[in-house]
Structure 1
């Protein structure tokens, strides 16, 4: 596994653990649709949340959430619709969140959860 892929996988694991600890139900991970991939699909109560996880090991490329621009958000909207079409689930609402993870060489990763970015 490439180092970049390992960092991304680590961030997704941190994010999924965070959501589960907060009482959310993680219903899917790394789901692939025609428009791309959803990192995490979770239920917060009866609301479906599509979660994009961005992980950085340094600040050289800016804040992790800065990597989620308009085009990525539009793709995530399409993917959310594709996911719902493929599953027998009828949530009361759908939203897109971003979880930004920063790794640390000396301690635990830090996490920032941005709710309802679209």
Structure 2
């Protein structure tokens, strides 16, 4: 399985996980000229921007470690664009990271990751 396939599988697992927790998926792979957000969901009245990171193992670090300062800035800017484009200025938002451990079949949901 190549990295794109791993990423797609991880996003599907995260999507199903969020749905099972009562979330509503608003967007999947929301793209702009400046970047992409894997999932945008509505959870308990909050608009949640979700970055999904999948790994087969932790040989190269934990999945959340890939969401570095540069990546967080890009996600934040895309989220600002989404909010403006959809006139959602008065809504509560947060940024989550969902780690998918493919070999262990584990999910780690980091709420308010940044």
The TM-score range, normalised by the shorter chain, is: over 0.9
Residue matched to 2:67 = 68
Mark the CA change 1:16 to 1:85 in structure 2 (over 3 Å): closer, same or farther: same
Instruction: Give unpaired runs (5+ residues) of structure 1.
Output: none
Residue matched to 1:109 = 105
CA distances 1:4-28 after superposition (whole Å, capped 9, x unpaired): 1000000000000000000000100
Cα shift at 1:91: 5.7
TM-score by length of 1: 0.89
Cα shift at 1:68: 0.5
Mark the CA change 1:91 to 1:110 in structure 2 (over 3 Å): closer, same or farther: farther
CA distances 1:31-65 after superposition (whole Å, capped 9, x unpaired): 10122110000001221000000000112211111
Instruction: Give unpaired runs (5+ residues) of structure 2.
Output: none
Residues of 1 paired with 2:39 and 2:21: CA distance? 15
Cα shift at 1:95: 0.9
Residues of 2 paired with 1:21 and 1:15: CA distance? 10
Cα shift at 1:71: 1.1
TM-score by length of 2: 0.92
CA distances 1:72-114 after superposition (whole Å, capped 9, x unpaired): 111111111111122254663111000000111xxx6210000
Residues of 2 paired with 1:96 and 1:64: CA distance? 15
- Give the aligned length: 114
The RMSD of aligned alpha carbons is: 1.5
Residues of 1 paired with 2:7 and 2:89: CA distance? 30
Residue matched to 2:15 = 16
Structure 1 segments (4+ residues) deviating >3 Å: 88-91
